[in-house]
Amino acid sequence: VICHPKYQESKRIAIFLSMPDEIQTEEIIKDIFKQGKECFIPRYKPHSNHMDMLKLSSAEDLSSLTLTSWNILQPSDDDSTREEALAGGGLDLIFMPGLGFDKKGNRVGRGKGYYDTYLERCMKHPSGKPYTIALAFTEQICESVPVAENDVQVDEILYEGC
């Protein structure tokens, strides 16, 4: 990930905070700050498919986040001090989680459509759609995964041995 050309050239990066069954992202987050890039993380709105990408001020800022009912760290609902990526300069790159992927770039998430809806919003931003990279375990790569009309394909899937 750290050596990937898209990562190297990106300045504004959104990345998920890992659940135990996902690729762990903490070291990537530390490197984003080490390289002087801007880091944005998801804040999911419960009972909807709305998600914002909010700016982290440092890797240590992770300790100020609250745990959701899904066991995911995110900025609290009343935290209005953080920049939302689309209210500013947009994003260059989004690292995406998922449960399953196929080699055509289709992805199965957890069923709420948060990333698909967010990417639709990105396409309306002046900076356009950011490059998307899914982070996966080899076991998550399938021959094909079910897709719906509003599913947005990822640009690239990184997994061991790809």
Neighbouring-strand partners of residue 101: 107, 141
Q: Quick: pLDDT tens for 58-106.
A: 999 999 998 887 788 899 888 889 999 999 999 999 999 999 999 899 9
Residue 141, both tokens: 């790569």
The DSSP symbol for 151 reads P
- Going from N- to C-terminal start, the domains of the chain cover 5-158
Annotated binding-site ranges: 17, 22, 107-115
Burial (CB count within 10 angstroms: exposed 0-12, middle 13-18, buried 19+), residue 14: buried
**What's residue 90's pLDDT?**
96
Q: Following CA atoms 134, 151, 155, 110 in sequence, which dihedral angle do they give, to the nearest 10 degrees?
A: 0
pLDDT in tens, 134-160: 999 999 999 999 988 888 999 999 998
Task: Show binding-site residues for substrate.
Answer: 17, 22
CATH number of 5-158: 3.40.50.10420
Binding-site residue set for ATP: 107-115
